[in-house]
Amino acid sequence: MPPFRFELLAEDAASGARRGRLHTAHGTVETPCFMPVGTRATVKAISQDDLEGLGAEIILANTYHLFLRPGHELIRALGGLHRFAAWPHPILTDSGGFQVFSLGALNTIEEAGVTFRSHLDGSQHQLTPELSIEVQLALGADIIMAFDDCTPYPATAEQTRVSLERTERWAERSREVWRAQGTGEAALFGIVQGGMYPALRREAAQRQVERGLPGYAIGGVSVGEPRELSYEAVAAAVAELPRDKPRYLMGVGTPEELVNYAALGIDMMDCVLPTRNARNGLLFTSQGPISIKNARHARDPAPLDANCGCRVCGRYSRAYLRHLYQSREILASQLNTHHNLFHYLDTMRQLRHAIGLGQLGSWRAEWSYNRSTQTEWPSRFSAQ
Amino acid sequence: MPPFRFELLAEDAASGARRGRLHTAHGTVETPCFMPVGTRATVKAISQDDLEGLGAEIILANTYHLFLRPGHELIRALGGLHRFAAWPHPILTDSGGFQVFSLGALNTIEEAGVTFRSHLDGSQHQLTPELSIEVQLALGADIIMAFDDCTPYPATAEQTRVSLERTERWAERSREVWRAQGTGEAALFGIVQGGMYPALRREAAQRQVERGLPGYAIGGVSVGEPRELSYEAVAAAVAELPRDKPRYLMGVGTPEELVNYAALGIDMMDCVLPTRNARNGLLFTSQGPISIKNARHARDPAPLDANCGCRVCGRYSRAYLRHLYQSREILASQLNTHHNLFHYLDTMRQLRHAIGLGQLGSWRAEWSYNRSTQTEWPSRFSAQ
């Protein structure tokens, strides 16, 4: 039996939602799942003990960052990423493709790969499909990603076609290295691009599926486009993906978006939103978002969210959390991160339970009901 | 029965060390104890849950900082510091005297008190013995400190005499407010000054003791003086303090110093050293201090301290901790703080156990044996 396997447990009758389970060499993951982002082999401001306590079953780490520091060879020498990061549970690594564009300076894209300068010291590097897979295999993640060309928004149909074709060729090269050098533990996912063109999304999905990979990801979503376009693009891709393989939507989203995408048939999602917003004092609650720096919380003895079961809501007042934030105390980042991740992971638990019971529709209606009553965030924070 | 009481459980035959127990309205504290410093109503980079897990029984908070932000009236309105900081266990507040000198700008000392400008916004304030006690009573700490004039080092005998006399007069005024306005829950400690002059330390201690206060503190130590002078000054003061009252040495020290001061008869100590050094990557181990940024840890799979029972040493490698520190990750501060505080609190547990068994001498010899084998810190960090 291969170490990686996706088990489909239930399908919602009234939507595309699925209840499933990923089996990996480092344990199982109940889906639909949210994966906290651990860019530099740490989910910012929370310990591995606490992540376990929150029920996180899988985390993501970034190939680009770990390639530059401390280096994949060092991590390999120390027994791989699971041991290095003291996280003996499933890990997914991205390919680094997105970061060389968004973080690397002076990057140039060629057929061979992407040449860029490190955001740390300006040193020049080239990341190719081959190197990306080699680095990911050295890190030893359970799920690794093909090296892709992330289509920006907006992009013309012609630009999107060029990006799609490059992604296809790079996927092929990624797969070759994975087949030749992989030990069988790492499952390679192909990435569906195609921008905001449903026909291109469908084609991209079909061509990825022909590779017969262990799973498929959808990239190039939440890159600045209106949300209606995102849903349309995701739905077009999902329609072409096989029922028995996991579907990973990269880099999304708000809790509402996670629920919406799960209803379209997405099994896995990741996003920096809960952790990054936490450090900026932007907190998710069952009644909508809160900005803890708001003066109206200064004397409020109530918890962040009276309906939340997390340790932060059980112990601390909004007044204290505001004081910590205003004082720029590290504990502000710690507690806010803990709460936001609990909110995300608990949303996924509720969602999975509802799908399993065949009651997604009624749960979703009830869950959504109160969430817009409180809208304290500036609008630029509600999307990514 | 008064809410505050000191119970003397055992005395070491070969030294001045005592094993005791503080009884307060918010619980008991085993002594000798180390009190983590929670300047702004938070011990930096560690949650209250984790502090409880480490066995911290009492924390310190700073009157100066809380007076300026969020303000003692806000904390009083929210039910006091215990509720505000979500710490239902004993709390000690300092008087703010030390901070108005070290943090306030343009401070001027007069008989009435100290006028200073806030380090936050430059606003002008005056802190007097009366206001300091009123603020501390509003915060609601279990142990509060008289407002004192901390003698700097070096100081002439004449300067030290002037500072001592002012401290005496301010102690008297502090006591008056405490007697008139205190509810009986807060125990006032007088502070012994006297610089590095043993005769003045003795006199200061005698004069404080005449006030019949619930406990006595020794201030003005670890202000830049050679350690032999500190020990001499502390020993001189302790000799005049009553057997049945707790003795608190303010603002010390390294683990070795804590053990040495406990052997002189000190019951309570506090210091920013474990928490501040943690954030600078300077870590205490059973074999001596480690600087985690040192390149020799980059590939080291060993824990910080193989003899340490803390969660950090049980889970993480030096290589990972160095990576977190080099990457300026918040988790570096969290894990380093956790370890250093465990080291301090565990040292105190061992120390108390040894005193209780009547085996302080043999424990101390064994404990000290290995501690100088590893000295990675720059010398400016080993003292305060």
Distance CA B380, CA A269 (A): 48
The pLDDT of residue B102: 84
The pLDDT of residue A380: 58
Q: What stretches of B211-272 show up as alpha helix (H) in DSSP?
A: 227-240, 255-263
In B, which residues are within 8 Å of A37 by CB distance?
A: none
In A, which residues are within 8 Å of B331 by CB distance?
A: 42, 44-47
The pLDDT of residue A379: 62
Test B74 with A320 for CB contact under 8 angstroms: no
**φ and ψ of B363, to 5 deg:** -60, -45
The catalytic residue among B12, B142, B270, B346 is: B270
Residue of chain B whose alpha carbon sits nearest to that of A87: B315
Tell which of B327, B339, B341 to mutate to test the A interface (max A CBs under 10 Å). Answer: B327
Q: Is B64 on the interface with A (CB under 8 A)?
A: no
Q: Is B295 on the interface with A (CB under 8 A)?
A: no
Test B40 with A320 for CB contact under 8 angstroms: no
Which residues numbered 239-268 in A keep a CB inside 8 Å of some CB on B? Answer: none
Distance CA B333, CA B344 (A): 16
Neighbours of B102 (CB within 10 A): 12
- Are A151 and A160 a contacting pair, CB within 8 Å? yes
Q: How many CB pairs under 8 A join A and B?
A: 107
Q: Which two tokens stand for residue A359?
A: 């009651």
Continuous segment of H or E residues that includes residue B171: helix B157-181
In A, which residues are within 8 Å of B315 by CB distance?
A: 48-49, 86
For B344-364, what is the mean pLDDT?
Answer: 97
Residue of chain A whose alpha carbon sits nearest to that of B66: A323
Instruction: Give the mean pLDDT of chain B.
Output: 95
Is there a catalytic annotation at residue B50? no
The catalytic residue among B94, B267, B305, B346 is: B94
The pLDDT of residue B174: 98
pLDDT digits (tens, 9 = 90+) for B34-83: 999 999 999 999 999 999 999 999 999 999 999 999 999 999 999 999 99
Task: Enter the pTM of the model.
Answer: 0.96
Closest Cα to residue B100, out of B117, B88, B85?
B117
In A, which residues are within 8 Å of B334 by CB distance?
A: 45, 47, 330, 334
**Amino acid letter, A233:** A
Q: Is B331 on the interface with A (CB under 8 A)?
A: yes
Strands (E), chain B: 5-11, 18-24, 27-31, 33-36, 59-61, 91-93, 105-109, 114-117, 124-127, 143-145, 187-192, 215-218, 247-249, 268-271, 282-283, 290-291
DSSP A122-140: --EEEE-HHHHHHHHHHHT
Q: Is the pLDDT of residue B384 over 60?
A: no
Strand A91-93 to strand A143-145: parallel, antiparallel, or no bridges (unpaired)?
Answer: parallel
Q: Which of A84, A301, A334 is nearest residue B319 as measured by Cβ atoms?
A: A84
Test A331 with B299 for CB contact under 8 angstroms: no
In B, which residues are within 8 Å of A69 by CB distance?
A: 323, 326-327
Closest Cα to residue A367, out of A379, A349, A382, A380?
A349
A124-161 in b/e form (b: 16+ CB < 10 A) is ebebbbbbbbebbbbbbbbbbbbbbbbbbbebeeeebb
Q: Which residue shows structure tokens 């072409």? A: A240
Test B331 with A42 for CB contact under 8 angstroms: yes
In B, which residues are within 8 Å of A70 by CB distance?
A: 298, 319, 323, 326
- Find how far residue A94's CA is from the centre of its chain: 9
Half-sphere exposure of A63 (CA within 13 A, CB side): 28
Q: Which residues contact B208 (CB under 8 A, 6 or more apart)?
A: B168, B171, B190, B191, B192, B216
User: What is the value of ipTM here, to two decimals?
Assistant: 0.96
- Coil, strand, or helix at residue B116? strand
Q: What stretches of chain A show up as alpha helix (H) in DSSP?
A: 48-54, 63-68, 72-77, 81-84, 97-102, 129-139, 157-181, 198-209, 227-238, 255-263, 273-279, 311-315, 318-326, 330-357, 360-369
Q: Which residues contact B12 (CB under 8 A, 6 or more apart)?
A: B18, B263, B355, B358, B360
Catalytic residue numbers of A? 94, 270
Compute mean pLDDT per 10 residues along chain A, 384 residues long, and list them.
87 97 98 98 98 98 97 98 98 93 84 93 95 98 97 96 98 98 93 98 98 98 96 98 98 97 98 98 96 98 97 98 98 98 98 97 92 71 48
Q: Is the pLDDT of residue B3 over 90?
A: no
In B, which residues are within 8 Å of A74 by CB distance?
A: 298-299, 319
DSSP A222-279: SSS--HHHHHHHHHHHHTTS-TTS-EEETT---HHHHHHHHHTT--EEEESHHHHHHH
Q: What is the 3-state secondary structure of A163-175?
A: HHHHHHHHHHHHH
Neighbouring-strand partners of residue A307: none
**Amino acid letter, B195:** G
In B, which residues are within 8 Å of A84 by CB distance?
A: 317, 319-320, 323
The pLDDT of residue B327: 97
Residue of chain B whose alpha carbon sits nearest to that of A315: B86
CA distances to A150, A196, A245 from A210, rounded to whole Å, are 20, 22, 13
pLDDT digits (tens, 9 = 90+) for B117-142: 998 999 999 999 999 999 999 999 99
B221, with CB counted inside 10 A (0-12, 13-18, 19+), is buried
Q: Is A49 on the interface with B (CB under 8 A)?
A: yes
Question: Rg (Cα) of chain B, in Å, rounded?
Answer: 20
Residue of chain B whose alpha carbon sits nearest to that of A316: B86
Q: If phi over 0 gives left and psi between -120 and 50 gives alpha, with beta otherwise, what is residue B122?
A: left
B191, with CB counted inside 10 A (0-12, 13-18, 19+), is buried
Distance CA A50, CA B80 (A): 29
Strand B187-192 to strand B143-145: parallel, antiparallel, or no bridges (unpaired)?
Answer: parallel
- Find how far residue B204's CA is from the centre of its chain: 20
Distance CA B360, CA B19 (A): 11
Between helices A157-181 and A198-209, what is the axis angle to 10°? 20
Test A298 with B331 for CB contact under 8 angstroms: no
Who has greater pLDDT, B182 or A62? A62
Shortest alpha-carbon distance between residue B274 and chain A (Å): 16
pLDDT digits (tens, 9 = 90+) for B270-283: 999 999 999 999 99
Distance CA B340, CA B359 (A): 25
Q: Is B204 on the interface with A (CB under 8 A)?
A: no
Q: Is B298 on the interface with A (CB under 8 A)?
A: yes
Q: Is B70 on the interface with A (CB under 8 A)?
A: yes
Residue of chain B whose alpha carbon sits nearest to that of A76: B299
pLDDT digits (tens, 9 = 90+) for B290-343: 999 999 999 999 999 999 999 999 999 999 999 999 999 999 999 999 999 999
In B, which residues are within 8 Å of A48 by CB distance?
A: 315
The pLDDT of residue A13: 96
Test B331 with A85 for CB contact under 8 angstroms: no
Q: Which two tokens stand for residue B329?
A: 């990750």
Q: Is B123 on the interface with A (CB under 8 A)?
A: no
**Amino acid letter, B44:** K
Q: Is the pLDDT of residue B1 over 50?
A: no
Shortest alpha-carbon distance between residue A86 and chain B (Å): 6
Q: Is A366 on the interface with B (CB under 8 A)?
A: no
Q: Which of B84, B301, B324 is nearest residue A319 as measured by Cβ atoms?
A: B84
